[in-house]
Amino acid sequence: MQAQQCLKRMQLTQAYEPHLSRPLRILQAQKDTMVLKAWIHLIVGNRACFAESFALCAGLHSLGFSCRIIVGYARIEQFTLTPLHAWVEYEGVPLGNPLDVQYCYAEIHHYSLDT
């Protein structure tokens, strides 16, 4: 997979303000995710969640956030739009998606630059 190989070659910059408390780091990651997501939608339009997650993960890594992409399968399909979904997670918190995404979908795979 080309996107995963590109992500693995990226150098993670120094973490954004590593001295901040966890809640403040997560808040900063959420803010940066919203800005990156807005730029992605402005430049290339809406994309599938999988492609968007790789773009967000790459952007967040370039800002110093060590995040990963989660792919999940719907636990109860009637409450989800599709049976599969991908999202970015930082320190156990989904970014760019509602927080309940981790409960609506069961993780079946993840992509991480750290491993």
What's the pLDDT tens digit per position in 56-91?
999 998 888 989 999 999 988 776 677 899 999 999
Place of tokens 């070659």: 9
Q: Which of 39, 22, 37, 13 is nearest to 96 (CA)?
A: 37
**In this predicted model, which residue has the larger pLDDT, 9 or 64?**
64
Q: What is the pTM of this model?
A: 0.80
